[in-house]
């Protein structure tokens, strides 16, 4: 296979890797599933808590990607949109680098509204934005693959791709988070929560900027 | 910001108990006549240390007349919930309100407690302007930052509007504003605490500033005008959901102590005095079927005393009321400690069955009529008051002063600062440690105690102990 053939594989791996990365980060919520399991004294409660966490994360991805799914259908603007998206991701990464504050409004969400919280926390930290350059890359690959098609068909393809990317990402996220929660609940104990928690704020902000920068370079080249 | 969570954040009460024991205690010092600035004393509590039970450092404030009382940490185990979003705070700053001045001091205890120093001062005007409250009191760290209860509303005497809770930013210590969105019938305030995963807050009632700042007002007490209600709130929605009146004769419902294990939906409340019979009482509240309930579960009788043993305030009664001024619950929720500041007794109740507290231990020291000395022979003025329990439940520390003007009414001979410690036996029983006695500087009284690494009236938890 040529280098070009490998591109979609790398992009899909990036979708999965970012999902795993979000999933193992306690800040994205898996300790809440542990708490739910222990509070109700039932592994079923742990699993039940994972669903709203997944749904919220999935929705946060879709909310960010879907507008781009519609935009990239405007073929003549594609390059502009891709560069704009890269700049947006870089800008948000730089913003997170400077402003380290956790949005206070998140602390107002009740523990009973896990789905809403998961949605808000993913949105606030730009988790969805990281997927945008990867998603745009996948759209371009799909388009190159199928040749020129009607705009309507292209939108359908792009929308389908958006849902697929968000779903694969969220599945990887919850697989990783669910494993961490189950390990803490069943085997490692509550100490694992603080042991597994690293302050990734800087790395997160830098990786957002990096993803945006790579996408920008690829688009300009 | 740390790279890892602070090692003194514990996911569960059980992990807090298993952590290394405390090395330093922080006790606030009060100059009762405001002739000297109030201060924070750092006390060495390592039994093998040369300076054990001695003050090893003092942070003296730059103002006079603040009246220190309660204080708290900027961060605690509650930060280990992803919902709070600040897992990388440090347990580092003590938030010390001046209850009379409405000034708040932020004291930095790192890198070394023996070098603790003032980090920031929040002037009263900022609190008045941003919250409309005055007389800050209890401090807790929680989901939205630092929560501070107040005893006064606006205006010079604090009666312009009700007192309540305000929030401070947990990183910048900026006063953010009022916490309540809907206070319901609440018009008085004292203590508060919560159950974080169950998302409710509980608040209690003392009195408005004119009823305490210049001393207890006997006519108000005898006509049952002090606080006697408990309020339950939706914590995130900031809304009063239920208020229960204990009955007007149950005057001054003060300390709120919920079970530490968040799976347990109950807690305790201490009531200073029943005006019909001078009893002190312990109440147990619990949540069942979505509603809160409360009942009186233990009473402590007054003790008869000759008129010449009593201060003028009590001479007409011929008895000493126990005056339950502080209560504290051990980390494992097994033992409730009850300070009887009037009769001079520290009671230890087994609350394994929360609605049936059983007296398990008792220590006599001080007291209006008894004046029991410490086993080391030294006089202990006042009575057991602010009590703090080590995380492992083995050591119980307490001081002897209640509140400047009230001290003078109940103990007219003065209340020189004292802090003692008792050893708690694993299955109940309490005994004063002969070798623990803190000498405070002359002219100072001692109030609340905080322990480094957290204590039983600071830390709230998001995960059960099982």
What's the complex ipTM? 0.91
Q: From the list B7, B83, B466, which residue is nearest A32 (CB)?
A: B83
**CATH classification at residue B408:** 2.130.10.10
pLDDT at site B315: 96
Burial B120-158 (b: 16+ CB within 10 A, else e): eebebeebbebbbbbbbbbbbbbbbbbbbbbbbbbeeeb
What is the pLDDT at residue A4?
Answer: 61
Q: Do B82 and A190 touch (CB under 8 A)?
A: no
Assess if residue B158 is contained within a domain. yes
CB-based burial, B207-224: b 16+ in 10 Å, e otherwise? bbbebbbebbeeebbeee
Q: CB–CB of B189/B206 below 8 Å?
A: yes
Q: Give dist(CA A127, CA A58) in Å, integer.
A: 10
| Closest Cα in chain A to B234 | A110
Please check whether residue B400 lies inside any domain of the structure. yes
Q: ∠ CA(A122), CA(A164), CA(A74), 5° rounding?
A: 90
Please, which residues have CB within 8 angstroms of residue B426's CB and are 6 or more apart in sequence? Answer: none
Interface test with B, best of A32, A104, A112, A186 (most B CBs within 10 A): A104
Q: How many CB atoms lie within 10 A of CB A162?
A: 24
Inspect the interface and report whether the beta carbons of B5 and A197 lie closer than 8 Å.
Answer: yes
- Distance, first Cα to last Cα, chain A: 22
Residue-level pLDDT at B422 = 98
Give the residue-averaged pLDDT of B45-62.
98
Residue of A nearest to B77 (CA): A194
Flag if B11 and A41 touch (Cβ within 8 Å). no
Of residues B459, B327, B300, the one with CA closest to residue B388:
B327
Measured distance CA(B398)–CA(B447) in Å, rounded: 9
CB B420 within 8 A of CB B466: no
Chain B residues within an 8 Å CB radius of A197:
4-5, 80, 87
More confident of the two residues A105 and B438 = B438
Residue matched to tokens 């107002």: A108
- Cα(B312)–Cα(A143) distance, rounded to whole angstroms? 93
* pTM for this prediction: 0.96
Q: State mean pLDDT over B361-387.
A: 98
| B148 phi/psi in degrees, rounded to 5 | -130, 125
Does residue B459 form part of some domain? no
**Pairwise CA distance, residues B346 & B360, whole Å:** 11
B306 touches chain A (CB under 8 A): no
A35–B197 C-beta distance less than 8 A? yes
For residue B141, the distance in angstroms to the closest alpha carbon of chain A comes to 13
The answer to whether the Cβ–Cβ distance between A193 and B464 falls below 8 Å is no
Neighbours of A17 (CB within 10 A): 14
Number of DSSP helices (H) and strands (E) in chain A, helices first: 9, 0
- Tell me what percent of the residues of chain B surpass a pLDDT of 70: 100
Count the domains in chain B: 1
How deeply is A22 buried, as exposed, middle or buried, from its count of CB atoms within 10 A (0-12, 13-18, 19+)?
Answer: buried
Report residue B269: phi and psi, to 5°: -140, 135
Best residue in A190, A191, A192, A198 for a mutation probing chain B (most B CBs within 10 Å): A190
- The tens digit of pLDDT for each residue in B218-231 reads 999 999 999 999 99
- What is the spatial distance between Cα A118 and Cα B17, in angstroms, rounded to a whole number? 31
A38: nearest CB among B9, B196, B464: B464
Examine residue B457 and state whether it is found in any structural domain, yes or no: no
Which H or E run includes A105?
A: none
Mutation test of the interface with chain B: which of A24, A32, A39, choosing the one with the most B Cβ atoms within 10 A?
A39
pLDDT digits (tens, 9 = 90+) for B200-214: 999 999 999 999 999
* Contact status, residue B250 vs residue B322, Cβ threshold 8 Å: no
CB pairs under 8 A between A and B: 96
pLDDT in tens, B272-295: 999 999 999 999 999 999 999 999
Alpha-carbon B389 to chain mean position: 12
Is the four-CA dihedral B408, B409, B415, B418 of positive or negative sign? negative
Q: Which two tokens stand for residue A203?
A: 């790395």
Please indicate if any CB of chain A lies within 8 Å of the CB of B259: no
Interface touch B80/A193, C-beta < 8 Å:
yes
**B122 has a chain A CB within 8 A of its CB:** no
Sheet holding B55-64, edge to edge: B55-64, B37-44, B24-30, B445-451
Query: Quick check: B173 contacting A, CB < 8 Å?
Result: no
Check whether A1 has a pLDDT greater than 80: no
> How high is the pLDDT of residue A127?
87
pLDDT at A130: 87
* Dist CA A190 CA A34 (whole Å): 8
Q: How much is the pLDDT for B85?
A: 86
Least confident of A189-203, B245-259, B329-343: A189-203
Find the length of chain B: 466
pLDDT reported for residue B275: 97
Q: Which residues of A touch B143 (CB under 8 A)?
A: 107
DSSP state of B132: S
A112 contacts on B by Cβ (under 8 Å): 199
Do B463 and A108 make contact, defined as CB atoms within 8 angstroms? Answer: no
Reported as a single tens digit per residue, the pLDDT across B125-177 is 999 999 999 999 999 999 999 999 999 999 999 999 999 999 999 999 999 99
Q: Which residues form the domain of B29?
A: 13-451
Segment A143-164, tens digit of pLDDT: 776 666 676 777 788 899 999 9
> Is B93 within the bounds of a domain?
yes
Residue B5 at interface with chain A, using a CB cutoff of 8 Å: yes
Q: List residues in chain A touching B: CB distance below 8 A.
A: 26-29, 31-32, 34-35, 38-39, 41, 100-104, 106-112, 117, 121, 190-191, 193-194, 197-199, 201
Q: Which residues of A fall within a CB distance of 8 Å from B237?
A: 110
The continuous run of DSSP H or E covering A6 comes out as: helix A3-24
Q: Above 70 in pLDDT, residue B363? A: yes
Distances (CA, A) of B294 to A140, A144, B13, B21, B357: 65, 70, 24, 34, 14
Q: Where are the beta strands (DSSP E) in B191-265?
A: 192-195, 200-203, 229-234, 239-245, 250-258
Give the closest residue to B100 by CA, choosing from B166, B57, B37.
Answer: B37
B357: helix, strand or coil:
coil
Cβ under 8 Å to A: B residues 417-446 = none
Burial status of residue B200 (CB atoms within 10 A of its CB: 0-12, 13-18, 19 or more): buried
Q: From the list A27, A34, A104, which residue is nearest B144 (CB)? A: A104
Q: By the CB < 8 Å criterion, does B80 face chain A? A: yes
Residue B175 belongs to a domain:
yes
- Tell me the backbone φ, ψ of residue B22, rounded to 5 degrees: -65, 150
pLDDT averaged over every residue in chain B: 97
Q: Is position B49 within any domain?
A: yes
Q: Which two tokens stand for residue A3?
A: 């280098």
* Preceding peptide of B111 cis, ω within 30°: yes
Question: Cβ(B421)–Cβ(B438) under 8 Å?
Answer: no
Q: Which two tokens stand for residue B376?
A: 């080391």
């Amino acid at each position: 296979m040529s280098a070009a053939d490998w591109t979609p594989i790398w992009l899909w791996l990036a979708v999965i890797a970012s999902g795993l990365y979000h999933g193992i980060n306690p800040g994205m919520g898996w300790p809440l599933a542990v708490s739910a399991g222990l509070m109700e004294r039932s592994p079923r409660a742990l699993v039940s808590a994972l669903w709203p966490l997944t749904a919220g994360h999935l929705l946060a991805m879709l909310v960010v990607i879907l507008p781009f799914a519609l935009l990239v259908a405007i073929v003549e603007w594609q390059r502009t949109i891709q560069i704009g998206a890269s700049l947006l991701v870089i800008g948000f990464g730089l913003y997170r680098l400077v402003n380290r504050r956790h949005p206070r409004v998140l602390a107002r969400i009740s523990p009973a509204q896990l789905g809403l919280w998961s949605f808000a926390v993913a949105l606030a930290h730009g988790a969805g934005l990281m997927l945008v350059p990867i998603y745009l890359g996948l759209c371009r690959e799909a388009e190159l693959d199928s040749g020129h098609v009607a705009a309507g068909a292209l939108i359908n393809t792009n929308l389908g791709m958006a849902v697929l990317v968000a779903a694969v990402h969220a599945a990887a996220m919850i697989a990783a988070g669910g494993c961490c929660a189950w390990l803490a609940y069943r085997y490692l104990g509550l100490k694992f929560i603080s042991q597994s928690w690293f302050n990734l704020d800087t790395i997160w902000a830098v990786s957002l900027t990096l993803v945006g920068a790579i996408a920008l370079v690829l688009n300009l080249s | 910001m740390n790279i890892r969570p602070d090692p003194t954040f514990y996911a569960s009460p059980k992990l807090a108990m298993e952590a290394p024991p405390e090395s330093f205690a922080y006790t606030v010092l009060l100059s009762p006549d405001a002739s000297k600035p109030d201060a924070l004393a750092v006390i060495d509590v390592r039994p093998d240390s040369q300076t054990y039970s001695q003050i090893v450092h003092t942070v003296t404030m730059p103002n006079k007349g603040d009246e220190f009382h309660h204080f708290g940490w900027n961060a605690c185990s509650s930060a280990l919930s992803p919902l709070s979003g600040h897992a990388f705070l440090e347990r580092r700053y003590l938030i010390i309100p001046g209850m009379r001045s409405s000034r708040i001091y932020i004291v930095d205890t790192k890198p070394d407690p023996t070098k603790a120093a003032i980090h920031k001062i929040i002037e009263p005007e900022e609190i008045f302007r941003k919250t409309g409250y005055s007389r800050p009191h209890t401090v807790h760290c929680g989901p939205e930052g630092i929560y501070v209860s107040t005893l006064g509303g606006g205006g010079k005497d604090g009666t312009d509007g009700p007192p309540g809770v305000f929030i401070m930013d947990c990183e910048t210590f900026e006063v953010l504003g009022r916490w309540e969105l809907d206070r319901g019938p609440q018009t008085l305030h004292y203590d508060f605490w919560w159950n974080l995963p169950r998302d409710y807050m509980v608040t209690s009632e003392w009195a408005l500033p004119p009823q305490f700042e210049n001393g207890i007002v006997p006519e108000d007490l005898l006509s049952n005008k002090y606080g006697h209600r408990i309020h339950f709130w939706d914590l995130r929605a900031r809304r009063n959901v239920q208020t229960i009146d204990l009955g007007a004769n149950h005057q001054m419902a003060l300390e709120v102590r919920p079970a530490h294990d968040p799976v347990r939906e109950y807690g305790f409340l201490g009531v200073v005095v029943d005006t019909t019979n001078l009893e002190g009482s312990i109440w147990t509240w619990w949540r069942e079927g979505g509603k809160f309930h409360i009942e009186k579960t233990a009473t402590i009788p007054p003790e008869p005393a000759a008129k010449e043993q009593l201060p003028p305030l009590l001479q007409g009664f011929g008895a000493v009321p126990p005056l339950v001024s502080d209560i504290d619950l051990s980390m494992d929720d097994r033992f409730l400690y009850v300070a009887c500041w009037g009769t001079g007794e520290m009671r230890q109740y087994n609350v394994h069955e929360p609605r049936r507290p059983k007296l398990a231990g008792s220590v006599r020291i001080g007291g209006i009529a008894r004046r029991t000395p410490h086993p080391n022979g030294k006089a202990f003025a006042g009575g057991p008051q602010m009590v703090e329990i080590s995380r492992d439940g083995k050591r119980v520390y307490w001081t002897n002063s209640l509140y400047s003007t009230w001290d003078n009414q109940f103990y007219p001979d003065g209340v020189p600062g004292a802090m003692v410690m008792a050893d708690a036996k694993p299955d109940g029983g309490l005994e004063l440690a002969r070798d623990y006695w803190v000498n405070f500087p002359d002219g100072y009284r001692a109030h609340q105690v905080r322990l480094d690494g957290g204590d039983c009236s600071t830390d709230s938890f998001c995960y059960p102990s099982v």
